[in-house]
Protein backbone atom coordinates (compact mmCIF):
# COMPACT_ATOMS: atom_id res chain seq x y z
CA UNK A 1 0.00 0.00 0.00
CA UNK A 2 1.20 3.55 -0.58
CA UNK A 3 0.71 6.44 1.81
CA UNK A 4 -2.11 7.98 -0.25
CA UNK A 5 -4.32 4.90 -0.20
CA UNK A 6 -3.30 3.23 3.05
CA UNK A 7 -6.29 2.27 5.21
CA UNK A 8 -8.92 3.70 2.84
CA UNK A 9 -11.83 1.51 1.79
CA UNK A 10 -14.94 2.02 -0.34
CA UNK A 11 -18.02 0.05 0.74
CA UNK A 12 -20.55 0.02 -2.11
CA UNK A 13 -24.21 -0.72 -1.35
CA UNK A 14 -26.29 0.69 -4.19
CA UNK A 15 -29.75 -0.11 -2.86
CA UNK A 16 -29.01 -0.63 0.83
CA UNK A 17 -28.44 2.87 2.23
CA UNK A 18 -26.28 2.64 5.38
CA UNK A 19 -27.65 5.99 6.59
CA UNK A 20 -31.35 5.16 6.23
CA UNK A 21 -33.68 4.54 9.14
CA UNK A 22 -33.72 0.80 9.77
CA UNK A 23 -37.10 -0.84 9.41
CA UNK A 24 -38.25 1.09 6.33
CA UNK A 25 -38.86 -0.49 2.94
CA UNK A 26 -35.67 -1.93 1.47
CA UNK A 27 -33.96 -1.44 4.82
CA UNK A 28 -32.91 -4.64 6.47
CA UNK A 29 -29.90 -6.76 7.24
CA UNK A 30 -27.75 -5.35 4.43
CA UNK A 31 -28.13 -1.77 5.66
CA UNK A 32 -27.28 -2.84 9.21
CA UNK A 33 -24.26 -4.83 7.99
CA UNK A 34 -22.71 -2.08 5.88
CA UNK A 35 -23.27 0.67 8.47
CA UNK A 36 -21.88 -1.31 11.38
CA UNK A 37 -18.95 -2.74 9.44
CA UNK A 38 -18.11 0.76 8.24
CA UNK A 39 -18.17 2.27 11.72
CA UNK A 40 -16.19 -0.61 13.22
CA UNK A 41 -13.55 -0.31 10.48
CA UNK A 42 -13.31 3.42 11.22
CA UNK A 43 -12.62 2.60 14.87
CA UNK A 44 -9.72 0.45 13.62
CA UNK A 45 -8.25 3.44 11.78
CA UNK A 46 -9.66 2.96 8.29
CA UNK A 47 -10.96 5.86 6.20
CA UNK A 48 -14.37 4.51 5.25
CA UNK A 49 -16.52 5.82 2.40
CA UNK A 50 -19.90 4.08 1.99
CA UNK A 51 -21.53 4.66 -1.41
CA UNK A 52 -25.25 4.28 -2.06
CA UNK A 53 -28.06 5.62 -4.24
CA UNK A 54 -29.96 8.79 -3.35
CA UNK A 55 -33.74 8.28 -3.44
CA UNK A 56 -35.09 11.69 -2.42
CA UNK A 57 -34.19 15.36 -2.80
CA UNK A 58 -34.63 15.65 0.96
CA UNK A 59 -31.73 13.26 1.59
CA UNK A 60 -28.33 14.73 2.34
CA UNK A 61 -25.71 13.90 -0.26
CA UNK A 62 -23.10 13.20 2.41
CA UNK A 63 -23.82 11.92 5.93
CA UNK A 64 -20.91 11.92 8.39
CA UNK A 65 -21.52 9.13 10.88
CA UNK A 66 -18.34 9.50 12.91
CA UNK A 67 -14.72 10.53 12.30
CA UNK A 68 -13.43 8.71 9.19
CA UNK A 69 -16.81 7.16 8.31
CA UNK A 70 -19.40 8.67 5.97
CA UNK A 71 -22.19 7.75 3.58
CA UNK A 72 -22.06 9.30 0.10
CA UNK A 73 -25.25 9.29 -1.97
CA UNK A 74 -25.39 9.58 -5.76
CA UNK A 75 -28.41 10.42 -7.90
CA UNK A 76 -28.69 7.62 -10.45
CA UNK A 77 -31.97 7.37 -12.28
CA UNK A 78 -35.09 9.07 -10.92
CA UNK A 79 -34.74 10.83 -7.58
CA UNK A 80 -37.23 8.51 -5.92
CA UNK A 81 -37.48 5.03 -4.46
CA UNK A 82 -37.03 2.34 -7.12
CA UNK A 83 -37.47 -1.38 -6.27
CA UNK A 84 -34.15 -3.22 -6.37
CA UNK A 85 -35.24 -5.45 -9.27
CA UNK A 86 -35.64 -2.33 -11.41
CA UNK A 87 -32.29 -0.67 -10.63
CA UNK A 88 -29.92 -2.45 -13.00
CA UNK A 89 -30.38 0.02 -15.86
CA UNK A 90 -29.28 2.94 -13.65
CA UNK A 91 -25.96 1.39 -12.60
CA UNK A 92 -23.84 2.98 -15.39
CA UNK A 93 -24.89 6.41 -14.14
CA UNK A 94 -23.96 5.36 -10.60
CA UNK A 95 -20.49 4.36 -11.81
CA UNK A 96 -20.11 7.65 -13.68
CA UNK A 97 -20.96 9.59 -10.50
CA UNK A 98 -18.55 7.46 -8.46
CA UNK A 99 -15.64 8.12 -10.81
CA UNK A 100 -16.41 11.84 -10.94
CA UNK A 101 -16.58 12.09 -7.12
CA UNK A 102 -13.34 10.15 -6.79
CA UNK A 103 -11.54 12.43 -9.24
CA UNK A 104 -12.90 15.68 -7.80
CA UNK A 105 -11.92 14.71 -4.26
CA UNK A 106 -8.53 13.18 -5.05
CA UNK A 107 -9.51 9.75 -3.74
CA UNK A 108 -7.83 6.48 -4.65
CA UNK A 109 -9.19 3.06 -3.75
CA UNK A 110 -7.01 0.01 -4.12
CA UNK A 111 -9.92 -2.12 -3.01
CA UNK A 112 -13.73 -1.91 -3.00
CA UNK A 113 -16.07 -4.07 -0.91
CA UNK A 114 -19.38 -4.52 -2.73
CA UNK A 115 -22.67 -5.68 -1.22
CA UNK A 116 -25.51 -7.50 -3.05
CA UNK A 117 -25.46 -8.43 -6.72
CA UNK A 118 -26.25 -4.95 -8.07
CA UNK A 119 -23.19 -3.52 -6.34
CA UNK A 120 -21.11 -6.48 -7.49
CA UNK A 121 -21.68 -5.45 -11.11
CA UNK A 122 -20.60 -1.91 -10.21
CA UNK A 123 -17.46 -3.32 -8.59
CA UNK A 124 -16.59 -5.44 -11.61
CA UNK A 125 -16.80 -2.38 -13.87
CA UNK A 126 -14.66 -0.33 -11.46
CA UNK A 127 -12.00 -3.05 -11.57
CA UNK A 128 -11.73 -2.48 -15.32
CA UNK A 129 -11.73 1.32 -15.05
CA UNK A 130 -9.50 2.02 -12.03
CA UNK A 131 -7.69 -1.28 -11.52
CA UNK A 132 -8.94 -1.88 -7.98
CA UNK A 133 -9.43 -5.22 -6.27
CA UNK A 134 -12.84 -6.46 -5.17
CA UNK A 135 -14.24 -8.10 -2.07
CA UNK A 136 -17.93 -9.02 -2.17
CA UNK A 137 -20.71 -10.03 0.23
CA UNK A 138 -23.81 -11.44 -1.50
CA UNK A 139 -26.39 -10.96 1.33
CA UNK A 140 -28.67 -13.23 -0.68
CA UNK A 141 -28.26 -15.53 -3.65
CA UNK A 142 -30.55 -15.41 -6.65
CA UNK A 143 -30.34 -19.18 -7.09
CA UNK A 144 -31.69 -19.69 -3.58
CA UNK A 145 -34.26 -16.91 -3.73
CA UNK A 146 -35.81 -18.01 -7.01
CA UNK A 147 -36.09 -21.59 -5.79
CA UNK A 148 -38.28 -20.45 -2.88
CA UNK A 149 -40.86 -18.37 -4.80
CA UNK A 150 -43.51 -19.11 -7.39
CA UNK A 151 -42.28 -19.15 -10.99
CA UNK A 152 -44.78 -16.41 -11.84
CA UNK A 153 -43.12 -14.14 -9.27
CA UNK A 154 -39.59 -14.47 -10.69
CA UNK A 155 -38.67 -11.02 -12.07
CA UNK A 156 -37.41 -10.39 -15.62
CA UNK A 157 -34.00 -9.39 -14.20
CA UNK A 158 -33.44 -12.91 -12.78
CA UNK A 159 -31.32 -14.21 -15.67
CA UNK A 160 -29.00 -11.20 -15.48
CA UNK A 161 -28.71 -11.57 -11.72
CA UNK A 162 -27.73 -15.23 -11.94
CA UNK A 163 -25.12 -14.49 -14.61
CA UNK A 164 -23.64 -11.59 -12.64
CA UNK A 165 -23.47 -13.60 -9.41
CA UNK A 166 -21.60 -16.40 -11.19
CA UNK A 167 -19.20 -14.04 -12.94
CA UNK A 168 -18.54 -12.21 -9.66
CA UNK A 169 -17.67 -15.36 -7.74
CA UNK A 170 -15.23 -16.39 -10.43
CA UNK A 171 -13.49 -13.01 -10.79
CA UNK A 172 -13.56 -11.22 -7.40
CA UNK A 173 -10.36 -11.37 -5.38
CA UNK A 174 -12.39 -12.62 -2.42
CA UNK A 175 -16.03 -13.39 -1.60
CA UNK A 176 -17.18 -13.21 2.02
CA UNK A 177 -19.72 -15.84 3.07
CA UNK A 178 -21.40 -15.11 6.39
CA UNK A 179 -21.88 -18.78 7.29
CA UNK A 180 -20.68 -22.25 6.23
CA UNK A 181 -24.17 -22.86 4.82
CA UNK A 182 -23.94 -19.82 2.55
CA UNK A 183 -20.52 -20.97 1.30
CA UNK A 184 -21.97 -24.40 0.52
CA UNK A 185 -24.80 -22.80 -1.46
CA UNK A 186 -22.29 -20.76 -3.48
CA UNK A 187 -20.37 -23.90 -4.37
CA UNK A 188 -23.45 -25.98 -5.15
CA UNK A 189 -25.56 -23.38 -6.96
CA UNK A 190 -23.25 -20.65 -8.31
CA UNK A 191 -19.74 -21.87 -9.17
CA UNK A 192 -16.98 -24.20 -8.01
CA UNK A 193 -14.45 -21.48 -8.89
CA UNK A 194 -13.45 -18.44 -6.84
CA UNK A 195 -12.04 -17.69 -3.39
CA UNK A 196 -14.43 -17.69 -0.43
CA UNK A 197 -13.75 -16.70 3.18
CA UNK A 198 -16.25 -17.21 6.01
CA UNK A 199 -16.65 -14.09 8.14
CA UNK A 200 -19.97 -13.86 10.04
CA UNK A 201 -22.17 -10.85 10.56
CA UNK A 202 -22.07 -9.18 13.95
CA UNK A 203 -24.17 -7.30 16.46
CA UNK A 204 -23.71 -4.58 19.04
CA UNK A 205 -23.16 -6.63 22.17
CA UNK A 206 -23.03 -3.47 24.29
CA UNK A 207 -26.52 -2.38 23.23
CA UNK A 208 -28.30 -5.71 22.93
CA UNK A 209 -28.31 -7.31 26.35
CA UNK A 210 -28.13 -4.01 28.20
CA UNK A 211 -31.76 -4.24 29.37
CA UNK A 212 -33.11 -6.84 31.80
CA UNK A 213 -36.36 -8.74 31.21
CA UNK A 214 -38.32 -7.19 34.09
CA UNK A 215 -37.11 -3.67 33.23
CA UNK A 216 -38.01 -4.16 29.57
CA UNK A 217 -41.53 -5.37 30.33
CA UNK A 218 -42.14 -2.51 32.72
CA UNK A 219 -41.00 -0.03 30.06
CA UNK A 220 -43.37 -1.53 27.46
CA UNK A 221 -46.31 -2.00 29.82
CA UNK A 222 -46.27 -5.78 29.45
CA UNK A 223 -47.36 -7.97 32.37
CA UNK A 224 -44.53 -9.86 34.03
CA UNK A 225 -46.35 -13.18 33.57
CA UNK A 226 -47.27 -12.65 29.90
CA UNK A 227 -46.17 -15.27 27.37
CA UNK A 228 -44.65 -12.96 24.76
CA UNK A 229 -43.71 -14.03 21.23
CA UNK A 230 -41.83 -11.48 19.08
CA UNK A 231 -41.21 -11.04 15.35
CA UNK A 232 -38.84 -8.34 14.06
CA UNK A 233 -38.21 -7.67 10.40
CA UNK A 234 -39.57 -6.44 7.11
CA UNK A 235 -43.05 -7.19 5.83
CA UNK A 236 -42.20 -9.51 2.96
CA UNK A 237 -43.84 -12.85 2.09
CA UNK A 238 -40.41 -14.52 2.18
CA UNK A 239 -39.98 -13.53 5.83
CA UNK A 240 -42.62 -16.11 6.76
CA UNK A 241 -44.78 -13.99 9.09
CA UNK A 242 -47.82 -15.97 7.94
CA UNK A 243 -46.17 -19.15 9.25
CA UNK A 244 -45.76 -17.57 12.69
CA UNK A 245 -49.34 -16.30 12.82
CA UNK A 246 -50.83 -19.66 11.82
CA UNK A 247 -48.53 -21.46 14.30
CA UNK A 248 -49.91 -19.31 17.12
CA UNK A 249 -53.43 -20.41 16.14
CA UNK A 250 -52.33 -24.06 16.43
CA UNK A 251 -50.43 -23.51 19.69
CA UNK A 252 -51.77 -25.14 22.85
CA UNK A 253 -51.60 -21.62 24.32
CA UNK A 254 -54.19 -20.28 21.87
CA UNK A 255 -56.99 -18.91 24.03
CA UNK A 256 -54.64 -18.40 27.02
CA UNK A 257 -55.24 -14.87 28.27
CA UNK A 258 -51.52 -14.49 28.94
CA UNK A 259 -50.42 -15.13 25.32
CA UNK A 260 -49.19 -12.06 23.45
CA UNK A 261 -47.50 -11.53 20.06
CA UNK A 262 -45.71 -8.41 18.86
CA UNK A 263 -44.94 -7.98 15.14
CA UNK A 264 -42.35 -5.26 14.65
CA UNK A 265 -41.59 -3.81 11.23
CA UNK A 266 -42.14 -0.64 9.24
CA UNK A 267 -44.45 -0.38 6.25
CA UNK A 268 -45.73 2.19 3.77
CA UNK A 269 -49.34 1.93 2.57
CA UNK A 270 -49.51 0.95 -1.09
CA UNK A 271 -45.89 -0.19 -1.31
CA UNK A 272 -44.87 -3.86 -1.19
CA UNK A 273 -44.36 -3.92 2.59
CA UNK A 274 -47.67 -2.13 3.18
CA UNK A 275 -49.49 -4.65 0.98
CA UNK A 276 -47.91 -7.54 2.90
CA UNK A 277 -48.84 -5.98 6.25
CA UNK A 278 -52.45 -5.68 5.10
CA UNK A 279 -52.40 -9.37 4.11
CA UNK A 280 -50.98 -10.44 7.48
CA UNK A 281 -53.50 -8.33 9.38
CA UNK A 282 -56.31 -10.00 7.42
CA UNK A 283 -54.99 -13.44 8.42
CA UNK A 284 -54.71 -12.31 12.05
CA UNK A 285 -58.38 -11.28 11.97
CA UNK A 286 -59.40 -14.48 10.19
CA UNK A 287 -57.73 -16.64 12.87
CA UNK A 288 -59.14 -14.69 15.81
CA UNK A 289 -55.75 -13.40 16.97
CA UNK A 290 -56.45 -9.68 16.87
CA UNK A 291 -56.89 -9.29 20.65
CA UNK A 292 -53.44 -10.71 21.39
CA UNK A 293 -51.51 -9.21 18.45
CA UNK A 294 -49.74 -5.85 18.44
CA UNK A 295 -48.39 -4.40 15.19
CA UNK A 296 -45.68 -2.22 16.70
CA UNK A 297 -44.52 -0.54 13.48
CA UNK A 298 -40.91 0.31 12.85
CA UNK A 299 -38.80 -0.39 15.94
CA UNK A 300 -35.97 2.12 16.21
CA UNK A 301 -32.50 1.05 17.22
CA UNK A 302 -33.10 2.82 20.53
CA UNK A 303 -36.14 0.72 21.52
CA UNK A 304 -35.29 -2.55 19.77
CA UNK A 305 -33.13 -3.94 22.65
CA UNK A 306 -36.07 -3.42 25.01
CA UNK A 307 -38.44 -5.43 22.80
CA UNK A 308 -35.95 -8.28 22.45
CA UNK A 309 -35.34 -8.39 26.21
CA UNK A 310 -39.07 -8.38 26.98
CA UNK A 311 -39.85 -11.39 24.78
CA UNK A 312 -39.98 -15.03 25.86
CA UNK A 313 -39.19 -16.09 22.30
CA UNK A 314 -38.09 -14.35 19.12
CA UNK A 315 -39.33 -16.18 16.01
CA UNK A 316 -37.45 -15.92 12.68
CA UNK A 317 -39.66 -17.88 10.25
CA UNK A 318 -37.92 -16.78 7.02
CA UNK A 319 -38.07 -19.01 3.96
CA UNK A 320 -34.34 -18.33 3.62
CA UNK A 321 -31.69 -16.22 5.36
CA UNK A 322 -28.00 -16.16 4.36
CA UNK A 323 -27.20 -15.19 7.97
CA UNK A 324 -30.04 -13.79 10.11
CA UNK A 325 -29.13 -10.63 12.04
CA UNK A 326 -32.38 -10.62 13.99
CA UNK A 327 -31.48 -14.02 15.45
CA UNK A 328 -28.19 -12.86 16.92
CA UNK A 329 -29.67 -9.56 18.14
CA UNK A 330 -32.30 -11.51 20.07
CA UNK A 331 -29.74 -14.00 21.34
CA UNK A 332 -27.46 -11.17 22.49
CA UNK A 333 -30.45 -9.92 24.49
CA UNK A 334 -30.76 -13.25 26.30
CA UNK A 335 -33.84 -14.35 24.33
CA UNK A 336 -34.04 -17.82 22.76
CA UNK A 337 -34.81 -18.01 19.05
CA UNK A 338 -37.08 -20.29 17.05
CA UNK A 339 -35.95 -20.08 13.43
CA UNK A 340 -36.39 -21.78 10.09
CA UNK A 341 -33.89 -24.56 9.50
CA UNK A 342 -32.32 -22.83 6.49
CA UNK A 343 -29.17 -21.00 5.44
CA UNK A 344 -27.22 -19.07 8.02
CA UNK A 345 -29.85 -19.64 10.70
CA UNK A 346 -28.45 -23.18 10.93
CA UNK A 347 -25.17 -21.54 11.93
CA UNK A 348 -26.38 -18.85 14.33
CA UNK A 349 -28.98 -20.89 16.26
CA UNK A 350 -27.79 -24.07 18.02
CA UNK A 351 -30.81 -26.39 18.36
CA UNK A 352 -31.69 -27.38 21.92
CA UNK A 353 -28.92 -25.08 23.22
CA UNK A 354 -29.78 -21.49 22.20
CA UNK A 355 -33.20 -22.10 20.68
CA UNK A 356 -34.93 -24.39 18.18
CA UNK A 357 -35.01 -24.88 14.41
CA UNK A 358 -38.09 -25.87 12.41
CA UNK A 359 -38.61 -26.61 8.70
CA UNK A 360 -39.54 -23.43 6.80
CA UNK A 361 -43.30 -22.88 6.32
CA UNK A 362 -44.05 -25.88 8.58
CA UNK A 363 -46.84 -24.49 10.75
CA UNK A 364 -47.21 -27.53 13.09
CA UNK A 365 -43.43 -27.64 13.70
CA UNK A 366 -43.32 -23.95 14.62
CA UNK A 367 -46.37 -24.38 16.87
CA UNK A 368 -44.72 -27.30 18.69
CA UNK A 369 -41.47 -25.34 19.10
CA UNK A 370 -43.32 -22.35 20.54
CA UNK A 371 -45.18 -24.61 22.97
CA UNK A 372 -42.02 -26.40 24.13
CA UNK A 373 -40.36 -23.15 25.19
CA UNK A 374 -43.41 -21.34 26.58
CA UNK A 375 -44.43 -24.26 28.79
CA UNK A 376 -40.99 -24.52 30.42
CA UNK A 377 -39.84 -21.12 31.79
CA UNK A 378 -36.71 -22.57 33.41
CA UNK A 379 -35.57 -24.09 30.13
CA UNK A 380 -36.41 -20.82 28.36
CA UNK A 381 -34.10 -18.96 30.75
CA UNK A 382 -31.34 -21.55 30.23
CA UNK A 383 -31.60 -21.28 26.43
CA UNK A 384 -31.53 -17.48 26.64
CA UNK A 385 -28.43 -17.45 28.86
CA UNK A 386 -26.58 -19.80 26.50
CA UNK A 387 -27.65 -17.72 23.49
CA UNK A 388 -26.20 -14.57 25.04
CA UNK A 389 -22.86 -16.26 25.75
CA UNK A 390 -22.66 -17.61 22.18
CA UNK A 391 -23.11 -14.15 20.65
CA UNK A 392 -20.62 -12.52 23.01
CA UNK A 393 -17.99 -15.09 22.05
CA UNK A 394 -18.57 -15.31 18.29
CA UNK A 395 -20.53 -12.37 16.88
CA UNK A 396 -19.49 -8.78 17.54
CA UNK A 397 -19.09 -6.02 14.94
CA UNK A 398 -15.62 -5.19 16.18
CA UNK A 399 -14.60 -8.83 15.76
CA UNK A 400 -16.08 -8.92 12.24
CA UNK A 401 -14.24 -5.71 11.34
CA UNK A 402 -10.96 -7.14 12.63
CA UNK A 403 -11.33 -10.12 10.30
CA UNK A 404 -12.28 -7.93 7.33
CA UNK A 405 -9.39 -5.57 8.05
CA UNK A 406 -6.92 -8.45 7.98
CA UNK A 407 -8.43 -9.64 4.70
CA UNK A 408 -8.23 -6.17 3.11
CA UNK A 409 -4.61 -5.64 4.13
CA UNK A 410 -3.61 -9.07 2.85
CA UNK A 411 -5.26 -8.41 -0.53
CA UNK A 412 -3.78 -4.92 -0.85
CA UNK A 413 -0.31 -6.32 -0.38
CA UNK A 414 -0.78 -8.80 -3.25
CA UNK A 415 -0.05 -7.81 -6.86
CA UNK A 416 -3.03 -7.06 -9.10
CA UNK A 417 -3.64 -10.15 -11.28
CA UNK A 418 -4.51 -9.92 -14.96
CA UNK A 419 -8.28 -10.27 -15.05
CA UNK A 420 -9.67 -13.00 -17.32
CA UNK A 421 -11.82 -11.86 -20.21
CA UNK A 422 -15.43 -12.89 -19.45
CA UNK A 423 -17.22 -15.05 -21.96
CA UNK A 424 -19.95 -12.47 -22.25
CA UNK A 425 -20.24 -8.87 -21.24
CA UNK A 426 -23.35 -8.11 -19.21
CA UNK A 427 -24.70 -4.62 -19.46
CA UNK A 428 -27.98 -2.90 -18.76
CA UNK A 429 -30.26 -2.72 -21.75
What is the arithmetic mean of pLDDT over 181-186? 93
Identify the weakest region by mean pLDDT among 55-69, 128-142, 145-159, 223-237. 145-159
Q: Give the Å distances, CA to CA, from 173 to 5, 91, 210.
A: 18, 21, 39
The 10s digit of each residue's pLDDT in 284-294 is 999 999 999 99
Helix (H) or strand (E) holding 214: helix 213-220
Global pTM reads 0.78
The answer to whether residue 420 scores a pLDDT higher than 70 is no
Residue spans of the domains in the chain: they are 8-202+397-412, 213-394
> Whole-angstrom Cα distance, residue 395 to residue 324?
12
Could you please state the CATH topology (level 3) that the domain comprising 213-394 is classified under.
Rossmann fold (3.40.50)
The answer to whether residue 421 scores a pLDDT higher than 70 is no
Q: Give the Å distances, CA to CA, from 289 to 252, 266, 310, 364, 370.
A: 14, 20, 20, 17, 16
Could you please state the CATH topology (level 3) that the domain comprising 8-202+397-412 is classified under.
Rossmann fold (3.40.50)
Same fold, 8-202+397-412 and 213-394: yes
Q: Determine the pLDDT at residue 393.
A: 87
Q: Give the Å distances, CA to CA, from 321 to 241, 255, 279, 420, 426.
A: 14, 32, 22, 32, 27
Amino acid sequence: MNSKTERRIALISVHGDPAIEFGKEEAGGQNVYVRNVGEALARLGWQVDMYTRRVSAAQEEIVQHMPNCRTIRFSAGPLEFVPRDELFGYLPEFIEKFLKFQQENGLTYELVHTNYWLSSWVGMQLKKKIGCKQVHTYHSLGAVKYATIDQKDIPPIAANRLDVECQLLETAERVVATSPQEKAHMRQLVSTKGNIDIIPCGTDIQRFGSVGRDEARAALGIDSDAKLVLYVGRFDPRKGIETLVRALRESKFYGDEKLRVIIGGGSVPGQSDGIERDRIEAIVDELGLRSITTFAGRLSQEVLPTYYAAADICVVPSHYEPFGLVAIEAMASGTPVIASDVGGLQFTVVPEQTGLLAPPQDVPAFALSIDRILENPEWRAKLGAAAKVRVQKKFSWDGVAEQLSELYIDLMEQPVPVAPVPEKELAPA
